[in-house]
Structure 1
């Protein structure tokens, strides 16, 4: 079933790129960064083959592909970031205790993103699965928007250029790239699930002893 879905995605992307060219790459990567299952491991290698190699364009056009892919990634990521600020944060502040997220947790996350947010925004763009979902929590904790945009673009540019290059050098066999990368999805998903379960276990024990959501809590230094 998964393979059939990916074949449908490939045909959809072919039509999109044939109709819109590089704008099609931008649109596809923006959708991918907005939590829609259009794998970049399919989009960018296809662009490297279809819009560069098949058009007999020189290799340096992979940087052009990386640029359009990164622009799309950044647009989609900023959409998720905005949702985190305007929708996710009010939801967490109001209903966070039902998700085992206290006001103190939110403040800790803000401090953590303030210190490490640049690296998170950058390196997450180089990881399958994680790269799609990091923007929303960055918005929830209100990471600095300019820094978020800059590091998201840089990380996305490197990732998109690399995948476009792979599509260029593999030519008509570009689809093998996704086949080689697909096995990495499962270990990452398992690791994220384990971390989630450990967090739930820790927070459940904590919440049984303390009420971190009471209104008397104020962040450190205030």
Structure 2
């Protein structure tokens, strides 16, 4: 299913160029798991062939990331908090946990947002909790911009340098995604075990 999605994205990007890259990156940053690990390297490959310009790929990739992130941020800020509080019991989120989340975003929000923009999977969803915790919008925009720009430069340039072998990058990030998922699951299992032991 993921492979089919990636192939569909590549097909669309091949036809739409910069507009497609902007739209795909916006969706990827708005909590829709379209892998930027395919979007930007393919854009880099198109610049390798001379069809697109690498600098513009980076610019439009960053722009798309910003648009999607800001949209997800305001979705979380306006409607996310009441929704989370309404279903807090079902989500097993206590009031203290929500307050702790607010505290971390208020104190370390810029670091959380910046480094999350450089991590597969997490980068797709980080804007929503930032909005729910009502992180200061100026800080959110600045650090999202910096993180998105670095991500676009790295993946776009990697696709350009790899040329026809750009698909190898997808394999690398596939393993990175799997490793990150294992770490997250391991952390969740650890927290559950610790909680039960304490009880």
| 1:205 positional shift | 8.0
Residue from 129, 137, 140 that aligns with 2:129? 137
Aligned position for 2:113: 121
Aligned position for 1:38: 34
Q: TM-score scaled to structure 1, two decimals?
A: 0.80
In terms of Rg, which structure is larger? 1
CA contact (8 A) 1:48 1:165 kept: yes
**Distance in 2 between residues matched to 1:45 and 1:134, nearest whole Å:** 22
CA contact (8 A) 2:54 2:156 kept: yes
CA contact (8 A) 2:70 2:127 kept: yes
| 1:185 positional shift | 0.9
| 1:203 positional shift | 6.0
Aligned position for 2:68: 76
Aligned position for 1:53: 48
Aligned position for 1:62: 54
User: Larger deviation: 72-81 or 90-99?
Assistant: 90-99
CA contact (8 A) 2:101 2:133 kept: yes
- The 1:129–1:38 alpha-carbon spacing in structure 2 relative to 1, beyond 3 Å, is same
User: Larger deviation: 186-195 or 196-205?
Assistant: 196-205
- The 1:199–1:90 alpha-carbon spacing in structure 2 relative to 1, beyond 3 Å, is farther
Unaligned runs of 5+ in 1: 209-222
- The 1:36–1:117 alpha-carbon spacing in structure 2 relative to 1, beyond 3 Å, is same
Are 1:9 and 2:6 matched, yes or no?
A: yes
Q: TM-score scaled to structure 2, two decimals?
A: 0.89
